[in-house]
Structure 1
Amino acid sequence: MTVALATIGFTRTTAERFFERLGGAQVKRVIDVRLHNTSQLAGFAKSDDLAWFLRTINGTGYVHAPELAPTEELMKFFKTDKGDWKVFERGFRALMKERRIERELKPSFFAGGCLLCSEPTAERCHRRLVVDYLNEHWGGELKVTHL
């Protein structure tokens, strides 16, 4: 069985375009994979506001899944210290293995979902690493669309 899953970032877009993309993809639940989801810098994507907007605009659910986020140390290395992406990727993959996310979660958890993070594209974002890692362990069960 294949499970449809999307990913999206909220920076470098308008709220209008963000919610249109979610609605167009028929997302049923946003799965927030940020470590910190309450920053004032998040604008419309601050956790409580985002949950209200999702419910009101699109009838979409919201859940915070920090177990799918990098540690504070990994984020600091990559973002603040401008660390190498490949080093970040290896470190985050090791963290997912340590957390055993492929055993702790089931594909059904992601059905109709959309992983949310701040990066505008999935290319250098941990949300892509999450779905790639899970697909490696689940035999490609997640059919992923990066919005």
Structure 2
Amino acid sequence: MNNTINLSTIGFTKKTAKEFFELLQKAKVKRIIDTRLNNISQLAGFAKRNDLQYFLKEIANIDYIHLLDLSPTQEILDDYKKKKGEWSIYEQKFRELMVKREIEKKLDPDLLQDSCLLCSEAKPHYCHRRLVAEYLRDHWGNINIYHL
């Protein structure tokens, strides 16, 4: 693969809808790839799946897809969030899950071009969307990652 993929990541918490959609538009995002395990929670506000899909299309002409292969399992998530687990353990388990799922073989690199990985965490440091982006970059080697 020669073409460099521009891949963004974003979390919706601690952002107003205005900030969220303006960041996506400024970054010229063409597609949101939702990496959340649960994307229908009332706590998601404007980022609840059906609402988000509508807003993305109407406000910014951005496509939306949900890829559960890029989500942690409920068990991995609960061990970290509910049981206050260590980030390093979460990261290790999630990386092992991506290896097991072989996401680098299942995903079409063209799908990622000008796309943005979405989850809830405000910052990428302790978030699986960063791990997905880095994992794919490590396997494909041609990805520029931008955290919005």
Aligned-pair CA distance for 1:106: 2.4
Residue type of the alignment partner of 1:25: A
What is the TM-score when the length of structure 1 is the normalising length? 0.98
Deviations 1:22-64 (A, max 9, x none): 0000100100000111000000000000000000100111000
* Alignment of structure 1 residues 19-98 onto 2, 5 Å: 19-98=21-100
For 1:134, what is the secondary structure of its paired residue?
helix
In 1, Cα distance between equivalents of 2:9 and 2:96:
21
On the 8 A contact 1:107/1:142 being kept in 2, the answer is: no
For 2:91, what is the secondary structure of its paired residue?
helix
In 2, Cα distance between equivalents of 1:90 and 1:106:
24
What is the TM-score when the length of structure 2 is the normalising length? 0.97
Residue type of the alignment partner of 1:127: R
Residue type of the alignment partner of 2:143: L
Aligned-pair CA distance for 1:90: 0.4
Gaps of 5+ in 1: none
For 1:7, what is the secondary structure of its paired residue?
strand
Gaps of 5+ in 2: none
**Identity score, percent:** 51
In 2, Cα distance between equivalents of 1:40 and 1:142:
33
In 2, Cα distance between equivalents of 1:137 and 1:50:
30
Deviations 1:105-124 (A, max 9, x none): 12211011000000001111
Residue type of the alignment partner of 1:142: I
In 1, Cα distance between equivalents of 2:77 and 2:39:
14
Q: Between Structure 1 and Structure 2, how many residues are aligned?
A: 146
What RMSD over aligned residues (CA atoms) do the two structures have, in Å? 0.6
Q: Which segments of structure 1 move beyond 3 Å, counting only runs of 4 or more?
A: none
Equivalence for 1:108: 110
On the 8 A contact 1:33/1:116 being kept in 2, the answer is: yes
